A and B are shown apart, each in its own frame.
Chain A
């Protein structure tokens, strides 16, 4: 089996796809970080090349659709081990079928791509709600999240629009990356030294008010923990003060 290895970036996947068309078609495209070499397979480490990547990117927009490009990026953000291969197969079919690619849900790869993309965008939607800022004593609002998918760059624009006038940090502690907003723009960074986390003097008061509200808004005759967990899975509770008691 011929396996292309990329450096873990989205451009890396696109470069592999470029080379697939100009060199040889691989059976799989995997990130070098999560591959265990085995004797029977042939490996080719593909150096990420921005020019090649952007040619694939443009070709997808021109010959397939914006939606396909977006879907593929979402699949990449899902960090699914097979995302490289799935995107490759999806685009391969797309270059044949053109803009109607996404109608072919009978095709397994198309179906899988749409399913993963839906899951990622659902989690983005969820986190527009299930994210809690705490006010630090330097005036910055800080939030900790641990999403299943790498969604911080999809979340940041929402919070930039909404909290234009407040400096904030969204910290994905699972991947140790953060989005920082300075009242003008946000950046995504992985060089986080020490974020001092001393809370503002009012913070505790508002957290306790929120917990009070959370308790009293529930109707006792209707208690339904299963429904609650369906909507708000337990894995998210850790960073929700109303639940992490």
Chain B
């Protein structure tokens, strides 16, 4: 194993540091600044429950937080990671003071919603976490900063440190990185599954416990008000979509995750254990996983309804809700003026917003087909699965094959969908 020598690699120029340490942080896809309602208590900054995007970078992803590593000097050697110890790359480290100063000055200019602080594992997990806590403490204490802070938990760090950071941050996350422990063994041999899963359990339990305390003592301190999230890399290892989706369902249920992020593998380094053929990240697959994830979180679906052993992978040509509807065609068509909310949102082309607007409009008068369009229902898809005041508007025969054929995207539509991949991620 090649080890870098710290003395000769540390970059001093602060602009160069920013370049290196934000470049190294950008593969963490989360940029969300939502979920926290932290108020401005005689200082600077507050959080916005729905989150605020401040800019969009050239890849079309939203910029909400100053997403940055404390340092990219790492003692680990994870094959998929640009910062692994054996990779020949420039190394840099920020001091806690520099992080706090940069954050506050970006914030005052309204460039950002807050800070997303992550780090490579420098010396030990505990030492790294202590540096991060120092930066965040300075922001919350000295600068009286009440803006959004998301901190990455370093696997293997002491519970006490996780407790400390949880009291300061709005959100924390520990990345599960890879879908199975076998893959983890193969690509990230120094990270153990327990090191990742244990903090998740601890964070979940603490949130529950503190929530109970706060119900009694309103002024008890808050613990990660915006909850915890995690991320896994898709396409670096051979797992099927069904095991990824089951894993996500599990993470939502067991650890009350606010989000599971999927990061289409970008080949940043070459390694014998990694696929070498992919030149571009599997963006469409990633997009389909996000769609399926949405179905789990907002549309009342179970992972087993979307995929199972017979259908282990998501359909690349059609979205997962449409695929589900075609496999369950006996449930359709449903009447727009009678169906309940749970069924309305299961119709391809009807989202949460349009379902709510249909219900509202129904209170005033019967909903006709023209109104559905105005409401924002995607009739191109929905018309095959609904009747409106008794009339069916789909063309062709009412069977899965015929409908599937009509819904198949032509090449132009696929491009459009590709373009909108990140519109879902917030």
Seen from chain A, the residues whose Cβ lies within 8 Å of a Cβ on chain B are 100, 103-106, 111, 125, 128-135, 141, 143, 159, 161-166, 202, 206, 208-210, 212-228, 230-232, 240, 242
> How does the 8 Å CB contact mask read for B97-121 relative to A, with 1 for contact and 0 for none?
0000010011011110100000000
List the A residue with the shortest CB-CB distance to B48.
A128
Q: Find A162's partner among B25, B44, B60, B144 (CB 8 Å cutoff).
A: B44
Q: Taking each of A129, A166, A214, which has the highest tally of chain B beta carbons within 10 Å of its own beta carbon?
A: A129
| CB pair B22 A217 closer than 8 Å | yes
Q: Contacts A135-B108, A216-B22, A222-B283 hold; do A105 and B371 have CB atoms under 8 A apart?
A: yes
Q: Which residues of B contact A164 (CB under 8 A)?
A: 40, 42-44
Kindly list chain B residues whose C-beta atoms are within 8 Å of the C-beta of A217.
22-23, 25-26, 57, 63, 67
B: contact size bracket? 35 or more
- Asked whether A130 and B54 contact (CB < 8 A) given A105-B375, A221-B281, the answer is yes
- Contact residues in B for A206 (Cβ distance below 8 Å): 105-106, 109
Q: How far is the CA of A69 from the CA of B76 in the complex (A)?
A: 60
How far, in whole Å, are A126 and B368 apart by their CA atoms in the complex? 33
- A131 touching B422, Cβ below 8 Å: no
B interface vs A, CB < 8 Å? 14-15, 18-19, 22-23, 25-27, 40, 42-46, 48, 50, 52-64, 66-67, 102, 105-106, 108-111, 113, 144, 266, 280-281, 283, 357, 360-361, 363-365, 368, 371, 374-375, 419-423
A103 to B44, CA, bound (A): 40
B residues near A232, Cβ cutoff 8 Å = 55-56
Assuming the contacts A100-B363, A228-B58, asked whether A143 and B110 have C-beta atoms less than 8 A apart, the reply is yes
- A141 CA to B364 CA in the complex, in Å? 49
Check if B43 sits within 8 Å of A225, measured CB to CB. no
B26 touches A128 (CB 8 A): no
Most interface-central of A106, A111, A215, A242 (chain B CB within 10 A): A106
Please tell me if the beta carbons of B19 and A212 are within 8 angstroms of each other in the complex. Answer: yes
A215 to B40, CA, bound (A): 31
Quote the shortest CB–CB distance from A184 to chain B (angstroms).
Answer: 13
Q: Can you give 21 A-B contacts (C-beta < 8 A)?
A: A100-B364, A105-B375, A129-B64, A133-B109, A135-B109, A141-B109, A159-B110, A163-B44, A166-B108, A212-B15, A213-B106, A214-B55, A216-B18, A217-B22, A219-B266, A222-B60, A222-B61, A226-B60, A230-B60, A230-B423, A242-B55
Interchain nearest-CB distance for B155 vs A (Å): 24
Contact indicator A222/B281 (Cβ below 8 Å):
yes
Which of A105, A130, A159, A226 has most B Cβ within 10 Å?
Answer: A105
